[in-house]
Every structure is written in C-alpha cells, then in structure tokens.
Amino acid sequence: MTQETLELTELVAARDYDAVGDWLAEHGALDIADELIRLEPSDRAVVFRLLAKNRALAVFEALDPIHQQQLLDALADDSVHELFLHLDADDRARLLDEMPAKVAKRLLANLPDYARTNTNLLLGYPEESAGRSMSPRYVSVRAAQTAADALSKVRRAGLRTREVHVLPVTDDQRKLVGVVDLPDLVTAEVGTPVGELIRPETYSVRVDDDQEMAARLMQEADLVALPVVDTEDRLVGVLTVDDAMEILEAEETEDIHRAGGVEPLDVPYMDAGVFHHARKRALWLLVLIIAAASTITVMEAFEESLEAVYILAFFIPLLVDTGGNSGSQASTVVIRAMAVGEVRFSDLPRILHRELRVGLLLGLMLGGIGFPIVSLLYGADFGMVVAFTLLAICTWASFAGGMLPLVARRVGVDPAVVSAPVITTLVDATGLIIYFTIAGLVLGL
Amino acid sequence: MTQETLELTELVAARDYDAVGDWLAEHGALDIADELIRLEPSDRAVVFRLLAKNRALAVFEALDPIHQQQLLDALADDSVHELFLHLDADDRARLLDEMPAKVAKRLLANLPDYARTNTNLLLGYPEESAGRSMSPRYVSVRAAQTAADALSKVRRAGLRTREVHVLPVTDDQRKLVGVVDLPDLVTAEVGTPVGELIRPETYSVRVDDDQEMAARLMQEADLVALPVVDTEDRLVGVLTVDDAMEILEAEETEDIHRAGGVEPLDVPYMDAGVFHHARKRALWLLVLIIAAASTITVMEAFEESLEAVYILAFFIPLLVDTGGNSGSQASTVVIRAMAVGEVRFSDLPRILHRELRVGLLLGLMLGGIGFPIVSLLYGADFGMVVAFTLLAICTWASFAGGMLPLVARRVGVDPAVVSAPVITTLVDATGLIIYFTIAGLVLGL
C-alpha cells in the first residue's frame, strides 16, 4: 500500500527473491493478487511459489478465473491439485468453465469423490443460473430441533464460515420451510425450538432461476445467504452474499459494455488480445455504420437544397451531435431505472409524457441560446432554422430515447443494447429530415 | 408475484380495502414496497396503515429514502415516531439527509437519548464517507477473552443479527486488532482464546475514507462486515455488507448516468419532475454543444472544398457517427476496467499501443467494406476518400477513447465524465479535419 516501497514488478525484474519474499510478507492477499497479474505469466508462478501455503490459497481465490487458469498452466502438477482441491465447489465450477475440456477433465478426475460430486452437480446447471453459482455445502436444521441441538449440528459440520451465517430450515422431506440466522440461534435460550427463530420473511430461488435476479433479490432484501431449491422445493444449496456481489459486478460490466456499443469482453481488459477486442466491437460498428448509411440517402434527397445553400452543411455535425446527446441522456436514465426495477413497460405512457416535456424544455433552452448567436453570424434566417431544428430534435430525441429501451425489453432485447451509440445513429437520419424540412420552409428552398 | 391476481393499484382505485388486506397478506415486504410507490402519495399512507406493525417496518425499510420521506409526510405524527425509532442508526441518518432541516430537527428531538446520540454521531461525518454509512452499534470482544465469554457477551448485547455476524476484536485502548467470525466462535472449544480465532487477514477503513472504496474492498475480500476506525485506530463502527451493496448500486448508477452525459439524479426516475430531469441534463448538453461549435469552424475552414464538391457533405454524418462510436467503444471498456481496478495510469502506454492496433484493425475492416460500395455509387475517388477517412478516424478515435479516461483521472476528473457523448463530440471536429484533408489530397482541391 505504501508508495515508498519498490514495486513488485521491479523486484522481480531484478531477480531479487529475498526482497520479493519481504514484499509478500508485508502485503495482503488482495494487493498481492493485484500485482501478480501485472507480471509476465511465467514470473507469476515463480512468485506464487514463494507464498506460504495458507496465503497461497487466499491469493489464488482473489484472482479472476482467467488468471487462475493461466497460473495453473504455469504451475507444476502437484501444486495445481493441491490448490484445486481447496477451492469452494462454486469457485471450482467457475474455473472449470474457463478451461480447455481436456485439462478440466483431468483435474476433475484427480479430485476426491466428495469434491468431484459437488463440482459435477454445479456444472450440470445452466450457465448464469443460481444453481451454477450456489454452494452445495450448507448446514440445514429442522424446525422441531432446539437451538442447542441446531448449534451442535453446526459445530459438528465444520464448514467454512461463510456457509453457516444463515442456516436453512427444512421439514422431513428436505423441503425448505425458512431460514434461521446463526446470531439468533446463539442468543436464543438453549431449549427454544428452531421453528420459533425462523425469519419472518422467507426468500428462496429455484436452481434454474437467473443468477442476476437472485443476486438483486439478496441486495434488495439485505440477505447474507439465499437458499436455492429444486422444482419440488427441496433444498439443494445456498447462494452467499460474496457470490451475489461478484454476480452483480459482472452483470454491471455487461450492461456498461453493451451501453457503449461493445459486446461484453469475456476476459479482463489487459488479457484480451487485439483481435479479441476488435471482434467484440466489429459487429456493432458494422450494424451502426449500415444504419448510418441512411443519412446518405437523406442527404441525397435534399441534394438540391444543399447545392443551393451549401452553408447548411456547416451545422450538420453540431445538430446531429446534439440530437444524439439528447437521445443518449434519455435512454441512459430510463435503462438504469429499468435495471434497478424503478420502471416497467406499463409506465411507458408516463415516461413518454415526461420525456416529451423534458426534451421540449431543453430544446427551448438550446434554441433560445442558439438563435441570437447564429443570427448574428449567418443572418436571422439561419438563426431561425438552427433554433427550430434544435427545438424539434431535442424533443424527438428525448422521446425516442425514453421509448426504445422499454420497447426493446418488451420484444425480448436487452435494453442496454439500445443506448448511446444506437440512439445516436437512429436519431441522426430523422434529425436530418427535420433539419432540411425546416430549412426548406424558412429559406423557401 | 402471480399474474392472475388484480394489481394493488386497481384494488385501491376500487376502494376495496378487504381485498387490499388480502393482497397485503399474500405478498412479501419487497413486493409490497414495489407496488406501494406506484400509488398516489395520499393512497400510500392509507394502504400502509393496513399493515401489521412488524411488517410495516420491513416494508418501510425496503423503500428508498425519498419514498420513506414522502410516506412520513403523509402519516400521522404518532406512527412516524414509532417507525423512525425502529430504524437502524445508519438508515435513519440517510433518511434525515433527505428531509427539510426543520422536520429532521423535530424528529431527532423526539428520539430517546441513545438513538439521538448514535444518529448525530453519523451525521457528523462527511457525506459519502464510510463513517456516514457504518452502523455505530456492534459487539466487540477482547483477544484475551475465551470463546465462551465472547459468546455470552454477544447474548447479552441483544443486537440485530446483521450486526453480530462478525465481531471486531480490540485491545485495552479500544484499538482494533482484528475480527472474528461468529461461526468460528460457535464452533471453537469453549476455552479457546479469541486471539487464536482472529481471521488471518484484517481489513479496516477510516471513518473519513470514501464509502465506495470501502464497499469495493468488502466485495473483493468477500467480507460480511468491515470495521471502521478513527485516526488513532480506535474502533467506532462497522460497515455491513447490505449497506456495501447499496453503496455500490448507487455508485454504479452515478457512473452510468455520467457516462450517458447526465448529472446523477438524486431521486428515482419517476419521482423526479420535468424541471429536475432537465436541470440534470442541461449543463452537459450546453457544454457539448459549445464543444460541437468547433465543427462549424472546421467546416468554414474547408468552405471552398465544400462549395466545389458539395457531395462531400453527404458522408459527414456517417463519418462523424463512426468516429464517435469507435471512440465510445474504447472509452467504455477502459473506464469499466478502471472502475473495477483492472488498469491504472501506469498502464497507459500498453493501453494506447493496444487501442491503436484495435482501431487500425477496425478501420481496415470498415474501409475495406466501404471502398467498393462508395466507389460503385460515387466513383473510385470518393471511395478512396471515404475508405482512408474511416481508417484514420477509427484509429484516432480508439486511441483518444483509450487515453482520455486515464488522463482525466490523473488530473482529478471522474473518468466516467469523458465517455460516449464527450468522446463523440471531441473526435467530431478532429474527424472533420481528417476528412477534408484526405479529400483535398485525393480530389486535388
């Protein structure tokens, strides 16, 4: 954390392994993981081996699955199996997803039976489902047990702490009836039946429910753990809050990438090669340039006006930019409001009514400022054309920006897709029609 | 949750309060809160009063501070004090932030001493600091205590469960020495000293540290609770994971709004009036249109080319759009990589090297596709102009989009500010210079 010490990269470059050892001793697992990924892949394994065994696991867990895989590739086989065995089943499943099938198969084959069974169970659920991200290890208790009996069951189980902050309560058929918080078990009288300590509101999700939905439920209901059940309401696992936070971060990244016109990257920025980056952007650039080709058609349609008054071309970039910005603003706030559950399709009429008035207000402001300036420089005719166009474009772009995300979701498209770049391109052609029409009327072309 | 039942809004509109009561009994606190905010403010209080006392608090806690305030306004004074008293101190501080100073003062004055002291303490820390969001209620234990003694202290304290999943461990001077997980206390032998159960890695933040930094630390280190200390390392509170998730959601919303060229809204979309929305967008629209005015200057500089070959104007919207899209893509992925801690300023040379090559690759693709099409329709001269311009603009825009967010943070500006709309506007003027220069060279203007 301190700025005075040399960076790990420099110590490694100097091959000063004593100093590297000191550096590792002074830093936490998160910092070490952060610096480790800045080293060349071959150096990472060298440094990683200098870590004490129990710290090595903490550092390994702090890495992304893609960096974990790179590290495993570089380590010798025996330490690989060691590390792999000590991961949580859900982390192991996520790591296996990233690996070539052959390597994954060999690693799985070397696991003890109980760990292999748990991991295979998770790998059987669809990607991005709650089942894939849950932990299959939990301690469940019965409603009829006393608090003391439940606590001694927790003691016997010997699970990792994050798995026993909250305990699912089941009936004789393993069906979920509620959850009890460990603190409530601890503070209750020893003879209290667990049934009396069950939380008033019970939340649970199905194994095949979407993991983002599950994570958002945990966030909204302030849950530390969420039971996952099968189609017959039988308990099969628990989703913990640390996994929920990771799921939400990954989903936010996807939304933000889509909003910027990029297909979500599968790997961290620095690990994606040039071709990977280009591939993730090429499709949208192509779609958008094909859509933008419609602006050429519009310009051709108004060719005579343009030939007569070529000065009209001067204002085109400014006008299409402003339309695009106005539309992006509207779609940005509506998309975010949808993502956090504030608005839904039935709110469409109210949203459109609001966006129309917001756009009108902004258009009046820009037009009011633009009119005197453009009039002064190019004459009152041009001033009127630009001012009226700004008014009309802002209103139309806000309206379109507010409408499209909701319509997109209605027809089953991710609303994040219809944001800034898409809206910009869509309102450009229509904005030009507005511009040349107003110019034709005012200038009598 | 079921689609068959009538919506709450319809039952309330029909004034069928028996049916409303049934509806409330069948739905969870989160669903009720979700539907409540869709009612008229005056109807919300009526429905809220139909809730049983213990459920009313759960529903109230599920509301945003702004909706909580609206509800308090509509409720009679006695139920207001009741609700207010039962909130957590940190939730109370957040709610008071939203209230008119006069109302806040009166509510505070009616609190019992202990609750008022806690709340005033939090209100004394700067906004968006860890101190403002932490809970001042916690159970701390001593390293020298036995596990059994520590557990009986937990039992005596009688705090809410989320406050005792993790217990800070302090020395005689109240200085933080580590944390112990409640599950570890429960599963340990009764005589084990707490000191032996302390987690290997201890994380903590200062009261005046930024709350987003604290929340991200909790996410990265998988923490359920994070101790907050003063400048002398003395324990003053605990930040819990449910608050960390709310902080991250609010910060993501801010980033996403800024990325779309909107100042963050202070209230949910539907609760912001037309003027509030317009105000949050007006500044950026103005800044961007002033920046876009530079495109007029560029067009004037190339007035002669444009007068001679007005067809050049046809391609302007398409070319500036593509430059803007390319730049937005680069800035989007770099800004997100910065937000999640994947890249930092020292990575600038590698990022620029990468973005240059990605932009070149995309430019080659678009130019390669554009050349034959434009050549066919407008002749090989125009084909060359458009193809070379696409190549140059994509390369330049990716470079600028990769560089600006990092430079922005370096000079102390939120990188989210230099995203889609800003990059688009910045690369437009430069893109036009590139276009007209290439046109001049190829067409001999």
Do B338 and B220 have their domain in common?
Answer: no
A153 touches chain B (CB under 8 A): no
Do A287 and A434 have their domain in common?
Answer: yes
By DSSP bridging, strand A225-229 and strand A205-206 are: parallel
How many angstroms from the chain centroid is the CA of residue B431? 33
**What count of residues does chain B have?**
445
Q: How many CB atoms within 10 Å of residue A250? A: 16
By DSSP bridging, strand A141-142 and strand B176-181 are: unpaired
Chain B hits for A314, CB-CB cut-off 8 Å, are: 296, 299-300
Do B216 and B315 have their domain in common?
Answer: no
Return phi, psi of residue A240, to 5°: -100, 160
pLDDT of residue B388: 96
Among the partner-chain residues B282, B325, B347, the one whose CB lies closest to the CB of A261 is: B325
Q: Give A 6-65 residues with CB within 8 A of chain B.
A: 28-30, 34, 54-55, 58, 61-62
pLDDT of residue B187: 87
B204 touches chain A (CB under 8 A): no
Residue A245 included in any domain: yes
Do A292 and A422 have their domain in common?
Answer: yes
Which residues sit opposite A129 in a β-bridge? A210
Calpha distance A122→B296 (Å, rounded): 59
Calpha distance B363→B387 (Å, rounded): 8
Percent of chain A with pLDDT over 90: 32
Do B199 and B230 have their domain in common?
Answer: yes
Do B288 and B215 have their domain in common?
Answer: no
| Å between A295 CA and nearest CA of chain B | 7
Three-class secondary structure assignment of chain B: CCCCCCCHHHHHHCCCHHHHHHHHHHCCHHHHHHHHCCCCHHHHHHHHHCCCHHHHHHHHHHCCHHHHHHHHHHCCHHHHHHHHHHCCHHHHHHHHHHCCHHHHHHHHHCCCHHHHHHHHHHHCCCCCEHHHHCECCCCCEECCCEHHHHHHHHHHHCCCHHHCCEEEEECCCCEEEEEEEHHHHHHCCCCCEHHHHCCCCCCCEECCCEHHHHHHHHHHCCCCEEEEECCCCEEEEEEEHHHHHHHHHHHHHHHHHHHCCCCCCCCCHHHCCHHHHHHHHHHHHHHHHHHHHHHHHHHHHCHHHHHHCHHHHHHHHHHHHHHHHHHHHHHHHHHHHHHCCCCCHHHHHHHHHHHHHHHHHHHHHHHHHHHHHHHHHHCHHHHHHHHHHHHHHHHHHHHHHHHHHHHHHHCCCCHHHHCHHHHHHHHHHHHHHHHHHHHHHHHCC
Interface test with A, best of B30, B289, B325, B350 (most A CBs within 10 A): B325
Do A250 and A183 have their domain in common?
Answer: yes
Least-confidence region, from A112-116, B208-212, B339-343 = A112-116
Count of the separate structural domains present in chain B: 3
Please say if the pLDDT value at position B4 is more than 60: no
Is A420's CB within 8 Å of B29's CB?
A: no
Please say if the pLDDT value at position A5 is more than 70: no
Task: Tell me how far CA of residue B203 lies from CA of A27, A30, B55, B223, in angstroms.
Answer: 12, 10, 35, 9
Residue B1 included in any domain: no
A301 touches chain B (CB under 8 A): no
Per residue in B150-183, pLDDT (tens digit) is: 988 888 887 666 678 899 999 888 899 999 999 8
pLDDT of residue A91: 80
Calpha distance B140→B235 (Å, rounded): 9
Do A389 and A285 have their domain in common?
Answer: yes
Task: Tell me how far CA of residue B292 lies from CA of A174, A318, A384, B287, B424, in angstroms.
Answer: 65, 5, 19, 9, 9
B200 touches chain A (CB under 8 A): yes
Is B257's CB within 8 Å of A333's CB?
A: yes
Going by C-beta distance under 8 Å and a sequence separation of 6 or more, which residues neighbour residue B325?
Answer: A261, A284, A285, A288, A289, A421, A424, A425, B424
Chain B hits for A277, CB-CB cut-off 8 Å, are: 333, 354, 358
Cβ pair A341, B34 in contact under 8 A: yes
Three-class secondary structure assignment of chain A: CCCCCCCHHHHHHCCCHHHHHHHHHHCCHHHHHHHHCCCCHHHHHHHHHCCCHHHHHHHHHHCCHHHHHHHHHHCCHHHHHHHHHHCCHHHHHHHHHHCCHHHHHHHHHCCCHHHHHHHHHHHCCCCCEHHHHCECCCCCEECCCEHHHHHHHHHHHCCCHHHCCEEEEECCCCEEEEEEEHHHHHHCCCCCEHHHHCCCCCCCEECCCEHHHHHHHHHHCCCCEEEEECCCCEEEEEEEHHHHHHHHHHHHHHHHHHHCCCCCCCCCHHHCCHHHHHHHHHHHHHHHHHHHHHHHHHHHHCHHHHHHCHHHHHHHHHHHHHHHHHHHHHHHHHHHHHHCCCCCHHHHHHHHHHHHHHHHHHHHHHHHHHHHHHHHHHCHHHHHHHHHHHHHHHHHHHHHHHHHHHHHHHCCCCHHHHCHHHHHHHHHHHHHHHHHHHHHHHHCC
Is B28's CB within 8 Å of A201's CB?
A: yes
Is A420's CB within 8 Å of B420's CB?
A: yes
A137 touches chain B (CB under 8 A): no
What token pair was written down for B51? Answer: 């809730």
Least-confidence region, from A31-45, A96-110, A375-389 = A96-110
Please say if the pLDDT value at position B1 is more than 60: no
Residue A129 included in any domain: no
Q: What is the mean pLDDT of chain A?
A: 86
B73 touches chain A (CB under 8 A): no
Is A62's CB within 8 Å of B286's CB?
A: no
pLDDT of residue B327: 92
A348: domain CATH number?
A: 1.10.357.20
Domain boundary among B199, B232, B259: B259
Residue A159 included in any domain: yes
Q: What is the mean pLDDT of chain B?
A: 86
B301 touches chain A (CB under 8 A): no
Return phi, psi of residue A205, to 5°: -130, 160
With b for 16 or more beta-carbon neighbours within 10 A and e for fewer, the B194-216 pattern comes to beebbbeeebbbbbebbbbebbb
What token pair was written down for B19? Answer: 């049916």
- Closest by alpha carbon to B362, among B383, B390, B402? B390
Q: What is the mean pLDDT of residues A128-150?
A: 89
Q: What is the mean pLDDT of residues A154-174?
A: 81
Q: What is the pTM of this model?
A: 0.80
Is A361's CB within 8 Å of B296's CB?
A: no
Please say if the pLDDT value at position A4 is more than 60: no
Among the partner-chain residues A265, A299, A313, the one whose CB lies closest to the CB of B299 is: A313
Return the C-alpha torsion angle B40, B42, B44, B45, nearest 10.
180
Among the partner-chain residues B220, B256, B292, the one whose CB lies closest to the CB of A30 is: B220
Do A211 and A303 have their domain in common?
Answer: no
Chain B hits for A218, CB-CB cut-off 8 Å, are: 245
Among the partner-chain residues B164, B220, B424, the one whose CB lies closest to the CB of A321 is: B424
Chain B hits for A405, CB-CB cut-off 8 Å, are: none
Is A259's CB within 8 Å of B260's CB?
A: yes
Chain A: residue nearest B156 by CA? A187
Residue A306 included in any domain: yes
Cβ pair A338, A344 in contact under 8 A: yes
B164 touches chain A (CB under 8 A): yes
Calpha distance B211→B216 (Å, rounded): 9
Chain B hits for A358, CB-CB cut-off 8 Å, are: 274, 277-278, 281
Is A217's CB within 8 Å of B265's CB?
A: no
- Closest by alpha carbon to A41, among A250, A270, A269? A270
Amino acid, res. B176: L
B155: domain CATH number?
A: 3.10.580.10
Is B269's CB within 8 Å of A343's CB?
A: yes
Do A294 and A371 have their domain in common?
Answer: yes
Among the partner-chain residues A29, A288, A419, the one whose CB lies closest to the CB of B321 is: A288
Is B259's CB within 8 Å of A256's CB?
A: yes
Calpha distance B142→B167 (Å, rounded): 10
pLDDT of residue A400: 94
B98: domain CATH number?
A: 1.25.60.10
Q: What is the mean pLDDT of residues A134-163?
A: 84
- CB contacts < 8 A, A to B, total 360
Chain B hits for A221, CB-CB cut-off 8 Å, are: 29-30, 62
Is A316's CB within 8 Å of B315's CB?
A: no
Please say if the pLDDT value at position A327 is more than 70: yes
**What count of residues does chain A have?**
445
Do B68 and B112 have their domain in common?
Answer: yes
Chain B: residue nearest A340 by CA? B249
Q: What is the mean pLDDT of residues A401-409?
A: 91
Chain B hits for A255, CB-CB cut-off 8 Å, are: 256
Highest mean pLDDT among A11-20, A187-196, B88-97, B381-390: B381-390
Among the partner-chain residues B285, B332, B335, the one whose CB lies closest to the CB of A362 is: B285
Is A275's CB within 8 Å of B361's CB?
A: yes
Chain B hits for A203, CB-CB cut-off 8 Å, are: 28
Highest mean pLDDT among A51-60, A391-400, B65-74, B252-261: A391-400
Chain B: residue nearest A54 by CA? B200
Per residue in A218-259, pLDDT (tens digit) is: 988 888 999 999 988 999 899 999 889 989 888 888 888 888
Q: Which domain does B360 fall in, by range?
A: 269-443
Residue B352 included in any domain: yes
Interface test with A, best of B187, B197, B203 (most A CBs within 10 A): B187
Residue A172 included in any domain: yes
Domain boundary among B226, B259, B292: B259
Do B293 and B434 have their domain in common?
Answer: yes
Among the partner-chain residues B253, B318, B425, the one whose CB lies closest to the CB of A336 is: B253
Residue B201 included in any domain: yes
Amino acid, res. B342: E
A349 touches chain B (CB under 8 A): no
Q: How many CB atoms within 10 Å of residue A188? A: 20
